[in-house]
Amino acid sequence: MKLSKHTTLTAITALALLAAPTLSLAQAAPAPAGATVHGHISNAAGLPFGTGEIKFTSERTTPTAELKFKPNMVFPIDAKGDYTATGIPAGDYYVFITQGTVIADRVDLSVKPTDTNLTLNDDMSRPEYIATMTDEQKKQLADFKAKNAAATSANAIIAKLNTTLKTVNDDLAKAGPTKGDVSADVTMMKDATGAKPDEPLLWSNYGNTLLAQGDHLAAADKAANKPAATDPEVQQTYADAVDAYKKAIALDAASKKPDPAKEAANYNQMGNALSHAGKNDDAAAAFESAVKASPANAGMYYRNEAVVFYTAGQFDQAVAAADKTIAADPKSVLAYYIKAQSLATKTTTDKAGKMTPPPGCVDAYQMFLQLADPNDPKVADAKQMLAAFGEKVQTKFKAGK
């Protein structure tokens, strides 16, 4: 059987189709129709407009109240006042800037068929816009600008003060071990309190710099064999520190949210300044005030009081303060040592040379040894005293009530 010419061509075509490999060509996604419009919106005060919407409409003859915006022609304005609108077809538009149902402004925009990327900003602080505002709106704007200027100035001051505080605190940490000169920091904090006199934190830090400078001057007196107690500069520096702490306490107490912990810390620092000036009774009163402000930290403040009296050789007061410390913090190692050492000064010796410590002295030493770190240098002293009294160290000692 002979194939017709038509049949032969058809068969060849079919074979060719069967033999040809299947090709899959990657196709680029169609570019979005229309232009991209982006920009920044500023309000009448010249600040970012804030969260809102930008709406495009080509209906330029329809009354504003009757306008209906297509969802694909409405775009968000972020908190920074920026927006990006995509797919805006060629045409002439009214562009509305809105917040909720309020229309803040309207600008014109023409998009040409060849446009792909356009910038449209709107600055409502322009004179033409301000001129359309009512007298009341203009007054509100003026008041806002004044308050904002004040806030901006205050923020700048606070930023500078925060830098000052960091510098001062770093300097105090470095100067502490050597009692170095911090007169420059005293000047910085004096200027800081002058810049913002209603801030308790600044007065607290001013007090800290004065206390540290007083210690520096007192150390210099000691090295020169001069009595710091009669040095007018030393005494005035400590007195200024006390005044600074008093100012901090008063400001905090008058604030909307007084902070008892900060009040207590200032009283504690005041007590340190007074004790360094040799005014131990006044220092004790300051520590007592710290306890009243923050009873939770009573153990620490009473311990500081005990240290002051013990260091000054006022042993009766030291014992009383140590007892208050122990009542607040039964595991205060230093309080037991101060109590024991203070009571030991009242030890009596009979004709035979036997030493009799006053009541409570041995118990205080025993408790100290129970709680103290074995490497504490005071441990050897405590053991020596017990041996002198003819007492043995008790490994499981419990103090009497």
Q: Residue 156's pLDDT is what?
A: 83
**pTM for the structure as a whole:** 0.66
Tokens, residue 225? 């064999």
Nearest to 77 by CA among 17, 28, 134, 121: 121
Close Cβ partners of 203 (under 8 Å, ≥ 6 residues apart): 193, 244, 245, 247, 248, 251
Q: Residue 155's pLDDT is what?
A: 78
- Residues 302-328 pLDDT 10s: 999 999 999 999 999 999 999 999 999
Q: Give percent above pLDDT 70 in the chain.
A: 91
Q: How many other C-beta atoms can be found within 10 angstroms of the C-beta atom of residue 353?
A: 6
What's the CATH number of domain 35-132, 3.30.1490.20, 3.40.50.1950, 2.60.40.1120, 3.40.50.1360? 2.60.40.1120
Least confident of 17-31, 271-285, 382-396: 17-31
CA–CA dist 271, 274 (Å, integer): 5
Contact in structure between 336 and 381 (CB atoms under 8 Å): no
Q: Residue 400's pLDDT is what?
A: 54
Q: Residue 145's pLDDT is what?
A: 86
Contact in structure between 42 and 81 (CB atoms under 8 Å): yes
CA–CA dist 253, 382 (Å, integer): 44
| Mean pLDDT value of segment 73-91 | 96
Domains 35-132 and 146-293 share a fold: no
Contact in structure between 315 and 342 (CB atoms under 8 Å): yes
CA dist list (Å): 321 to 2, 299, 315, 378:
130, 10, 10, 20
Contact in structure between 326 and 332 (CB atoms under 8 Å): yes
Q: Provide the 3-class DSSP secondary structure of residue 291.
A: helix
More confident residue, 29 or 298: 298
Averaged pLDDT score across all residues of the chain: 89
Which residues are paired to 39 by β-bridges?
83
More confident residue, 9 or 217: 217
DSSP string computed for 32-68: PSSEEEEEEEE-TTSSB--SEEEEEE---SS-GGG--
Residues in the chain: 401
More confident residue, 104 or 27: 104
Contact in structure between 147 and 172 (CB atoms under 8 Å): no
Report the first-to-last Cα separation within the chain, whole angstroms. Answer: 130
Residue type, 144: F
- Residues 137-148 pLDDT 10s: 999 989 988 888
Q: Parse the chain into domains and list their residue ranges.
A: 35-132, 146-293
- Report the CATH number of the 146-293 domain: 1.25.40.10
CA–CA dist 340, 379 (Å, integer): 12
Q: Residue 10's pLDDT is what?
A: 31
